[in-house]
Chains A and B, each alone.
Chain A
Amino acid sequence: MTTSTPVSTKEKPSSSAAGAPEKATSGNLLRAVKDKWALALVVAVILGLVQLSSMILPPFLFPGLGDIAMAVVDILANQKSDILITMARFVVSLVVAIAAGWIIGLVMGAFRSTVGALFTPLFSIMQAVPALSWVLLAVLWISDINIRIGFICFAISMPLIAIAVYEGIRNIDPEIVEAVDQFRPTKLQALRMLLIPQSVVYMIMSLRSTTAFTLRILVFAELIGAASGIGQRMQVAQTNFQLDMIFAWTFLLILVNFALVYLIDVAEKHLLAWRGEAVIR
């Protein structure tokens, strides 16, 4: 009754799977071109509005594109150290927040009824504390500037990452847990095979919002409580009424944000290459 049958011709692999070598289909290409055009259009409109406003308003209220460009050159020539200081603070505090948030989220997921139940309300309260309160408290509590700024970024971004990882573990498909459990793994094996890979997805997804938010908070913290860094430089520019410098710093921060998003995209493509991606046509 049974005969050896080769793979059915009906069994065609999914074509829209992410992680498959990208094919330059006409749809993809069109979308990419459209996206680039949209970005170029938005940038052109913003630059046009800035230039137009500078022609209408006095220069001390709204500098022209030329002045802003000069200010950018000035920053890149003479104030690189502030950019590097801010970036170093950002990287260190984000790495510490990611490491701590990831570990805490994993522990919360592994021990839901105890650690998970305890930390969830704690992080909810921490997230409800306004960023300004963290900044003001840190200024009063911590004298070392770098530790102060690191503390602020940590207090704000770590709970976001921990909760995202915890949610990820809670959302793990019970069917695949059962499929692995049939082989009777140890707790450590289950952690390595199931919880850690599952948490990576949610951690990376949370990074998208966390990095941009952390950078904004960091610059804000520098503005209030630091003697160096981009935030402090913007505060000096504001005091001296140097609007071209404020625009220039803002422009550079936007570029940094875009670079961060790009880096997260690269990390996502590399680490989550296995994910299938739904395409809405």
Chain B
Amino acid sequence: MSPNIIEVNDVSVWFGDFNAVSDLSFSISEGSRVAILGRTGAGKSTLLNLLVGNLEPTSGTVRVAGHDPVRERRELQGLLSMAYQSPRLLPWRTARENVEVGMEILRVPKAERRERAEHWLRMVHLDNAGDRYPAQLSGGMRQRTSLARAFAIGPRLIFLDESFSALDEVTAKGLRADFVTMSEESSVSAVIVTHSIEEAFEIADRVLVFGRPARILGDFDAAEVRRKHGDNFLPFREHIHQMMVDAEKADAEAEAKSLVES
């Protein structure tokens, strides 16, 4: 069994009276692709912020590649990268220069930087668009550039924060396929935050279904699900959807009850 790249132990996060994450514990082994699936407000972004070191838990511990992401922020340099829902490219840099951003910060020599940028642009089918500025690219091409930027530093762990959700279905499907190929070729671990059930089970090895406040409702072997339900995914999709809705209902009822009691 591969060592764990992420370990989350008994983590809770409170924003004042609001409980965003509740006694959350899970681990992710190195080299795996794990989807965090949940509805809006399920604390997925809060979890990402905990993992990348932008937020400290109220209680519990988070370890990423063996480090505390808040206190040992520097030690994680070059180990993590992220692709967001929007491409977030620097508008004054060409696509190639955007792919080079992380490598530049890591002080990769210029020639190597250029070579690696070209490689990752080829991987996302943008080999002829390297000299274009973001304003000259389509939404899908920008998102491809953003993905290439995340892979180009050669990280051990990539986070995708709903990176395909703003794209049309055809573009998103192509990009998801590229992402799987790229992550398999580079043996990178990945945490994919999404609200799309299809997307989660399409690209991940493992799917964690989140309820609100962030806690695990289900932990699925995605390959197994694809094997069992690949031909007829709809009923399984409904099952997952119902699981999230029921959890939300139960939470709402519990909350109303506690309000009445208080």
Contact = CB atoms under 8 A, between A and B. Distances in A.
**In the complex, the 5 A-B pairs of residues with the closest C-beta atoms, listed nearest first:** A276-B135, A5-B174, A179-B88, A274-B133, A11-B140
A148 B24 CA distance: 69
Contacts of B80: 182
Interface residues of A, number: 38
Interface of B: 52, 73-74, 76-78, 80-82, 84, 86, 88-94, 101-102, 104-106, 125-126, 129, 132-141, 144, 146, 153, 168, 170-171, 173-174, 176-178, 180-181, 201-203, 226, 230
Contacts of B93: 197, 274
A5 B93 CA distance: 27
Contacts of A200: 92
Given A4-B177, A176-B90, A183-B77, A13 B171 contact: no
Contact of A10 (B94, B102, B140, B178): B140
A5 B124 CA distance: 10
A7 B86 contact: no
A184 B84 contact: no
B174 A7 contact: yes
26 contacts: A4-B178, A7-B125, A7-B140, A8-B171, A11-B141, A12-B138, A13-B136, A14-B137, A173-B88, A175-B86, A175-B88, A176-B88, A176-B90, A178-B88, A180-B101, A182-B81, A182-B82, A182-B102, A183-B102, A183-B153, A184-B77, A185-B105, A198-B92, A200-B92, A274-B93, A274-B94
* Interface secondary structure of A, over-half rule: loop
Contacts of A18: 135
A5 B170 CA distance: 9
A210 to B, nearest CB: 22
A173 B81 CA distance: 19
Interface string A239-281: 0000000000000000000000000000000001111100000
Contacts of B138: 11-14
Contacts of A7: 125-126, 140-141, 144, 174
Contact of B73 (A4, A6, A184, A194): A184
A141 to B, nearest CB: 41
Interface in A5-64: 5-8, 10-14, 17-20
A203 B77 CA distance: 33
A274 B140 CA distance: 18
